[in-house]
Structure 1
């Protein structure tokens, strides 16, 4: 009989490869004792999603344009966002950036004096009671203090 026992392979049955342990159940053992990954999986031990696949089972095809909004690339079950972008689908800007390309610098704490929020075009939208390009002035009907509410 020239068959090897389970988990052993090679000409003298000296190579140990268990598909479940060595290949993460995501591939099969080759005669050389290495893993040959199933479709959708890659890497040592077949533990990562191959390019273009995503999800816990690496079964869902991932298109950078569809899944990552064109702002990242598909990797290991999700999106790896390009510089400036964030979120599971790369559909948000990192803190301090705004705009459709996440290339407009606006930090609410400094740019808007912590009295407003940054808009899509990098301008400040002031909180009630504040005005000015940097939200550093009180509305005409408000007086004094850092809170502009007196």
Structure 2
């Protein structure tokens, strides 16, 4: 297998395998998000109030997405999103129009 802070030191015998650098020490979310594995690469999922590839940008409280319970969204968390708008776990359902608001690194109508 692979080891080391940069996941670049092969320790073992036999065929060398591809190193999965998902969420290793090289992915820094500036303490404003958490690293999430995706397609073999680590990426930041920013906490409310932050955005950017490494959660480096502050967004004002009025622009931040509310932290609503499961299945609800909107400014007062009163909007119910259908089970079809789960955004594959890579975004949040917008209570305003039922569309997906994708987390950093994810795109598409349903993330």
TM-score, structure 2 length as denominator? 0.32
Higher relative contact order (CA closer than 8 Å, sequence separation 6+): 2
TM-score, structure 1 length as denominator? 0.25
**In proportion to residue count, which structure has more helix?**
1
Could you say which structure has the larger radius of gyration?
1
